[in-house]
Structure 1
């Protein structure tokens, strides 16, 4: 790993927009993606469960996830699944400028979701209790995580499984509440980073570290040395209901785009050959 560049600038993030239901509003997310290449959303799952439609409209919004939705025998599990998938699908549809039913997700071996057929948008999702956090970017890779503040004491008990020796040494002598808050921030940052990498829990948290800063963090080696990875930025976010969120963002300038519309990503002749002339082509025929 290279030594850090002290002059490297950290990209500011857009605000985290609160979305109440499938009808939006979605304009702010679309504008953030258009102007900055990053969009962030938070939502109350219980409110989405109340606001989401039923019957044919829900089936349209769930798209390919409809069958999985019907397979669940528990109404609570089924409704929560629908709320999370509809929110993510509506967010991606906003970026691609297609209807939500045309969005299909795949899942990597780590469980990380991706948008089938449209790799110009990277997505990440996390939920804890009633809060759902979603991140989208056209710049490269993104990972998000969220935890409620009341989990701080239990997370702090896992400090030796979360932190490097250098991180633990930096926290020695801090008051208990400050120690717990620092561990909570460290936890969500490491969750977000490993999600962005596509590793999840396969990447041991004790194999890399962070130096907490005001509003974010800087990446460190296992020994505590700064890492020169200017393409990465790390952010801590205060969220609704006292939750702690984190975002890990990697800007990959090769291949990154600001125009995320499906209409500009799909060649019409190729699309017609795949879907057929009598079938509406997502992003091209509304």
Structure 2
């Protein structure tokens, strides 16, 4: 991390961004905070936009989805542009969007406990973007409230509701932390897959060193792991940071015809929280 002392605000935001990728471990005594990133990022000039405010300003905003392409292609806000936060030319793409479409730029990800939207807005601020905001309720809240203003594989979500994976079908693939951990240590019949982004990845091994990394931004690597697991008749145990990205990954797995896979409930963040609470 480069800290430029001549510009203290840059240093503070850089510090903020470096912390955002790491898990925020809470104890059992800490109260639940619906949007834990808001107070942190608002101190560094990131304006949060809620669900209803974004609906009101949608036509006059340049909305940017910063999730991996797979997630965007499955479901995104109508009219949203896609710029993966992990893309090497993120800065150039954001400046080009502002020049072509104007401000305000509103960034979003899966929201709530996920910080990618905040981080993108903070980076845009550092680039000198005139008005950078973060919609932080996320994609799931948006499609539930405004399905006609969400695009599922290019079609209005309210017109293809029968193609959406139900909550019951998703929950059937979710394992609580203890069950997931036990399965992860069972032996050669499982493959544990970490789909977190580079910014979220840490050096801690929680599942006996069995994890293999395959971020959603590199879907070809993930597909190779999935294909190998199927050939070896192994169960896929998949986790992300907050239990949100796996919801969209499920569509991809179902399309591939994979039938032996499970997700970590609440992602690695909840796993950390439960361990700390014991």
When the two structures are superposed, what TM-score results if normalisation uses the length of structure 1?
A: 0.26
Computing the radius of gyration from Cα coordinates, the structure with the larger value is 1
When the two structures are superposed, what TM-score results if normalisation uses the length of structure 2?
A: 0.26
User: Counting strand residues as a fraction of each chain, which structure ranks higher?
Assistant: 1
